[in-house]
Amino acid sequence: MPELGTEEAGRERFIAEPKPPVDRRGSPREQVFLTGLLVTEAGETLACIIVDRSESGFRIKLLEGDDLPPHFGLIDLVAGVGHEGQTVWTSKPFAGARKLKSFDLHEPQTGLAATLQDVWRTALA
């Protein structure tokens, strides 16, 4: 083995370790796999799975190969919670969305929340 010069002999050599990916989300993500319904501005409903969620948004799996519209309503069928969402990214069959507002569909509602409430009640009937 060749001898190291005095300058090299005092240095330790480190192998670069890979850095973990940077998580840019403002709040932690929770994996959930919830049955959901998307409601478009035209009133169409699309089946989906809410794959994960955070305080600020969702990752959704579209089941019918549809595109996620720019703005939509999202219903968590089991919990009875509706959300107003905005599409941030798509990579079929998944899409990421920002949560703009949330609504308790068990309570009286108006506007978009009332529409989501009607769809939710019909889906449960």
Residues 113, 105: Cα–Cα separation, whole Å? 7
pLDDT (tens digit per residue) in 46-92:
999 999 999 999 999 998 777 889 999 999 999 999 999 999 999 99
Residue ranges per domain, the chain? 6-124
CB-side neighbour CA atoms (13 Å) of 14: 3
Q: Are 85 and 71 in contact (CB under 8 A)?
A: yes
Read off the pTM.
0.77
* Residue from 44, 70, 48 nearest 60 by CA: 48
Q: Considering only 14-18, 31-35, 44-48, which range has the smallest mean pLDDT? A: 14-18
CB proximity list for 69: less than 8 A, separation 6 or greater = 38, 40, 41, 87
CB-side neighbour CA atoms (13 Å) of 26: 6
Protein fold of 6-124? Thrombin, subunit H (2.40.10)
Q: Which pLDDT band holds residue 22 (cuts at 50, 70, 90)?
A: low
